[in-house]
Every structure is written in C-alpha cells, then in structure tokens.
Amino acid sequence: MAEKKILLLGSGFVAAPFVEYVLRRPENKLTIASRTLANAQALQKDYPAASAVQVDINDDKAIEDLVAQHDIAISLIPYIYHAKVIAAAVKHKKDVVTTSYVSPAMMEFDQAAKDAGITVMNEIGLDPGIDHLYAVRTIDEVHKEGGKLKEFISFCGGLPAPENSDNPFGYKFSWSARGVLLALKNTARYLEKGKVVEVSGPELMESVRKLNTGYPGYSFVGYGNRDSTPYDKRYNIPEAETIIRGSIRYDGFPQFAKALVTLGFLSEEEQAHLTASAPEISWKQVVAKTVGLENPSAEELKAAIIQKTGIQNSPDQAAILDGMRWLGFFSDDAKVHRRNSLLDTFCATLEEKMQYEEGERDMVFLQHRFEIELKDGTQQTRTSTLIEYGKPGGFSAMAKTVGVPCGIATQLILDGKITQKGVLAPMTPEINDPIIELVEKEGIGMVDRIL
C-alpha cells in the first residue's frame, strides 16, 4: 500500500476519535498541527504513526507549505479559517475535509476546487453530518416509492447523561460557555404548516416546545436552531409544509435561561464594577446592581428578581430561584471572577461550576421525525434516532460522533470511494451510502422506526 499523508489542523475536543480511526490503517501517516505545540504532542503521544508540529493559522505561507506536503488536509479549527485552508488546497491540488457547515466564503471555492480536481468534503460530523446521512436516505426512499414528505422535524443535542445532569441548567460545558450562551441570541427561522416563522433571539427561549420522542425516560424540550428554511432545497423536499431543525435541552433549561436573559446576563457591555481593577465583589452585590437595589437582604433580592423576571405565577419559580441560589446569587461569600461584562463574568462562574468531572459521561440525542404521505394517500410517521453515551476514561459521545464520521469520510476519499469534486456536503446517496455503512460498523448509526 502506498503511504498516505494526512494533515490534521487542530488538536481540540473532537480530534482524538478521528486520529484513532485513520491510524488503524498502517499506510496512513498523520501530522497533527496546532497553534500550541504541547496540545498537538499530547494528542500524538499514543500514536507512533503521528507527528506534531506548531503552526499559526494566520501564517499563510506555513499553512500552504504544510498542505502541499500532504495528500489531504482535515480542518478541525474554527470555521472562519476553513477558506484559508481550501485556498491552499486548491493551489496544491489537495483534498480537504471539515465538519463545519459550508459557509459562503467556502462555497466561493466550488468552481476552483472542481477545476483543481479536488474534493472538499464538509458537514460530516454529528450535526451537521450523521443527521444529513439519515434524513437524505429516508427522503430518497419515500420519493422512490412515490410518496411525499409532508413534515421534517429534527432535534439534536449534546447533554450530560441523565445521572450527571445535576445542576439547574441540566447542562455541562465541554467547550466555551460563551459560545453556548451567545447561541441563545440567534434568530431561528423555520417552515411550519406552510408559513415561514421567524423567532428573534430574545423570544427564542419562549418558543420552546416539549418533544415527544417516543422515549419517555427523557424529559426533552427543543427550540429552533438558526435557519431551517434552505432545507427544502438541500434535502430536495419542495413538497414539505413543515421543516424544523432545532436544539435539544432537558426541560428546565429554557425557563432558567429565559430568567437570566431577562435579568441582562447576556450583556456584553463593559461595567465599571466588573473590571479587573474594580474592588472585589460578591454575586449578591452584582445581582443587586442588576435589579437596581443597594444592599438588599436575600429576601428583598428574591422579591426583586421575581418581579423583574415576571415569574410570579410560574410553576417554575421555585426551580429558578433554587438555581440562582446554587449559582451563589444570594450569597455574600460567592466571589465573582470579574471579566468586564456581565456575560463574561457569568461565564467564568459557569465554567467553574459546570465542568464534566472525572468519571462522568455525556450523551448525544438526535432524532428525525418524518410525516409522510404514501403513494396510496395513507399517512405514515417514521423516526430515526441516535442515542450515544460517552465512556468514562474514553471518548465522549460528542467527540466520537463528530470525529469518527470525519475519519470515515477522510478514508473514503483516500481510498477513491468518494470521487465527486468541488465543495460538497453529504446530500446524495452516492456520497452517503458508503459513509452510512461504515458509521454503522462503528455502532453509531441511527435506528429507524415506523410508528
């Protein structure tokens, strides 16, 4: 077997399962390139066929030289840098794989990639990735049988396993808390019963719906995730009257998040009392300032919070106040890590209190729900569901479900089984079927049911 040289840009959270997968093949040689050499070396140490190098993504020449020396470049760095990697790959006629959504900046290289004869495969992780594989497969089956897809509803989330969801959010951070919280400001757009619905960031937590997943052991809610409306074209379902893609959380998360948003905890504005040079301050004092009180008692503060958040008659009032007590909002002892703005100061506390502890496991839940009209006019509901748990001491569910599909796509390109050129996503049976076969061999496929 001829030696294959793989360049991995990024050594973060999802990289290890990718490395393990591609290095099962003895002909594959891997270079792990990271901004911090120690991080690349930490990932490389268990794999004799891998080497570690330091590289700055903003050093165009260094990136270009690295890409030129390899057969394929895998970009697991922030999506804003993928276009740089693709530009270098086009120049040197090398294939590329990313797990990110295709951005307009990436799509601009489509023709150049075709002209260079290279494959730029994207959206091949979990969400996006595994979700596309099974959505496209079911939709294709329905159309081939002469049926129509009336509704496509898909929700996905990475969460702590139920036994580890032991905080008021029912959530833990495996990466930046800031990114998770700022996503609560995103506008969601989707198609529902033939109408485009737009939910602005401030209303997002109010648009939450309880999810009927068919798994009563989980208490899930969901809300729209960015813009679902292009999926009529992406999934070839112009006949669909409802198309919703969203995020899953445990019930309780949106109610608590909404109260915090109302109090102003997503504000990125600098506040004098939260700067590094300001005197030490407790959470109780910060919250008092937020609701406009001077030195209130815990009871006065509670009353002001209830008033400001409008939870007077809410069945969630006790749970929300318990959550705030857990965060230290009523305590003179809970010191604040001052980070200039309320958002960043709050994130510092969340990251301290809501990390995965040794031996805890995460969970990924992804479900598609298809409402179908069969050729003879009868109605049918189908679901495709993925439930994956992390292994304490091993890979997390999130890392595995992103890193392994990425590894599979990489190997299929190296083996000449994915040959389409240009900037791609897994939207056709020719690309998807061989990936599904290998994903299922790894035990992370979706389970299909007709209800």
> Which residues are known catalytic residues?
127
Strands 195-199 and 209-210: unpaired
Q: What residues contact 127, with CB distance under 8 A and at least 6 apart? A: 156, 366
Q: Distance of alpha carbon 315 from its chain centroid, rounded?
A: 30
Instruction: Fill in the amino acid letter for 246.
Output: G
**Interatomic CA distance for residues 52 and 122, integer angstroms:** 24
The tokens for 187 are 């506008």
**Interatomic CA distance for residues 232 and 240, integer angstroms:** 7
The phi and psi torsions of 231 (rounded to 5 degrees) equal: -75, -10
Q: Of the candidates 256, 342, 253, which has an alpha carbon nearest to the alpha carbon of residue 291? A: 342
CB-side neighbour CA atoms (13 Å) of 418: 32
Helix (H, G, I), strand (E, B) or coil at 23: coil
- CA 204, 210, 215, 216 torsion-angle sign: positive
Is residue 386 within 8 A of residue 444, CB to CB? The reply is yes
Helix (H, G, I), strand (E, B) or coil at 2: coil
- CA 63, 65, 70, 72 torsion-angle sign: positive
Instruction: Fill in the amino acid letter for 270.
Output: E
Strands 188-192 and 379-389: unpaired
**Interatomic CA distance for residues 97 and 10, integer angstroms:** 12
Lookup result for tokens 């969203």:
246
Is residue 152 within 8 A of residue 235, CB to CB? The reply is yes
**Interatomic CA distance for residues 447 and 329, integer angstroms:** 43
Is residue 21 within 8 A of residue 403, CB to CB? The reply is yes
Q: What residues contact 89, with CB distance under 8 A and at least 6 apart? A: 67, 73, 95, 96, 113, 116, 118, 120
**Interatomic CA distance for residues 98 and 107, integer angstroms:** 13
The DSSP call for residue 89 is H
Element (H, E) at 400: helix 397-414
